[in-house]
A = this chain, B = another copy of it.
Amino acid sequence: MDYRFSDTIDSFKSSAVREILKLTQGKSIISLAGGLPNEQYFPIDAVREAFLRVFEEGKQVLQYGLTEGYTPLRQSIAKHMERKNIHVGVDDMLITTGSQQAIDLLTRVYIDPGDIILVERPTYLAAIQIFQSHKARIVSVDGDADGMNLIDLEQKIKQYNPKMIYVVPTFSNPAGKAWSLERRQGTLDICKRNNVLILEDDPYGELRFGGGEALPSIFSLDKHPHGSAVLYTSTFSKIVAPALRTGWAIGDPDVIRQMTRAKQAADLHSSTMDQQALHQLFEHFDLYSHIDLVRSEYETRMRQMADLLNQQNWPGLHWNEPKGGMFIWIELAEEIDTEKLMKLAVEEGVAFVPGVSFFADEPKRNAMRLNFTHTDYEQMKEGFARLDRAIQKMLQTV
């Protein structure tokens, strides 16, 4: 049999992170590479209780569900969103298999081959993969620690006439940025003026460090879902647990309806066991105290990694302390190609993600993403010692 695959398969490259995870499986490698939440803080007893409550409701809990998602869960999420000053009803919402699927479904209904999507530089690598798989053209917009550069954004909109812009304004992956209010409002204004849809991906918004006030989502600045220029997506993966694979998209009911039809074709609906359990969790578990706990533990780990970084004298080392999320983005001297460094690092027994993975174009070759949530301080220290050895080895050759 001579298989005749479609033209798109070239775009389904396996994610670099996942390939690295495979490399490290079963080996005694300390991974600062993954984007894994820490198992220690999974509320397993509450999740178990939640599932038991679902089973108490009888056999019908095992039946097919609505493509839109389990209605009581959509109501719970709407209530949850109120805390973020987002006011939506169940018809403005679609439950997805993680927020990853929300990105895929929106791309499926909104992007034709050759359409342009603007992204941050750097940006979330799986989003790049999704956009490429739909044959979009991806163009990066410059930015700094406060978010996208609004002048460059407006200029690239004029130059490329993009249909969509993809942003992670709150504790971005990989850069750990928190956009300023001015950049959020500016991006919204520019996109509305130019009829460009904003896909606001917010998986990390709850993981805010420092106890300050939360910055408003771009979606909430746009006030009302009807006619909104923003499609917002988030997930339970970082605040409850990833195994439940439950995310949600909110936006204009027309956009949600189109995504729902695409989902009906793609997989009919997401696991209703997980959706029903999450609804029970909202009803019977103090999710917000739990989020506070996770937030505080992750902040401790971030500070531990920051201390370790402060002790290094790696050439050109530059980084900003993240205001939330799961990652620190570091840059090294120009001559340090982190893809080459990765091989030495794995030999030494430590892994990270080379920065090049996070660029749609003009990649930075001297950057890397480090995860601070999944290792304890002892591992982290040992990981840094190994990373230091790898960097010293590399410096001897460049």
Contacts and interface: CB of A to CB of B under 8 A. Distances in A.
Interface stretch (A143-151, A268-276, A320-328, A331-339): A268-276
Nearest to A40: B59
B44 A63 contact: no
11 contacts: A5-B258, A8-B109, A14-B264, A39-B63, A40-B59, A42-B63, A44-B58, A63-B243, A96-B267, A97-B97, A273-B274
Given A44-B55, A59-B42, A268-B126, A273 B254 contact: no
As for how many copies of this chain the complex holds, the number is 2
Contacts of A313: none
Nearest to A103: B265
A355 interface: no
A389 interface: no
Interface of A: 1-9, 12-15, 18, 36-37, 39-40, 42, 44, 47-48, 51-52, 55, 58-65, 67, 96-98, 100-101, 104, 108-112, 115, 126, 129-130, 133, 163, 192, 195, 197, 227-229, 237, 241-245, 252, 254-255, 258, 261-262, 264-274, 276-277
A261 B14 contact: yes
Contacts of A39: 59-60, 62-63
B243 A97 contact: no
B5 A110 contact: yes
Contacts of A197: 1, 3-4
A241 to B, nearest CB: 4
A229 B1 CA distance: 6
B112 A267 contact: no
A7 to B, nearest CB: 5
Given A3-B255, A273-B243, A265 B195 contact: no
Nearest to A258: B9
**Secondary structure of the A side of the interface?**
helix
A67 to B, nearest CB: 7
B126 A265 contact: yes
Q: Which of A14, A130, A228, A265 is the most central at the interface, judged by chain B CB atoms within 10 Å of its CB?
A: A265
A266 B243 CA distance: 16
Contacts of A6: 108-112, 115
Contact of A36 (B5, B7, B63, B100): B63
Contacts of A276: 243
Contacts of A101: 266-267
A224 to B, nearest CB: 11
Which 4 pairs of residues, A with B, have the shortest CB-CB distance?
A: A12-B261, A62-B241, A271-B271, A97-B267
Contacts of A237: 64
Given A59-B42, A101-B266, A271-B270, A9 B245 contact: no
Contacts of A229: 1
Contacts of A1: 192, 195, 197, 227-229, 252
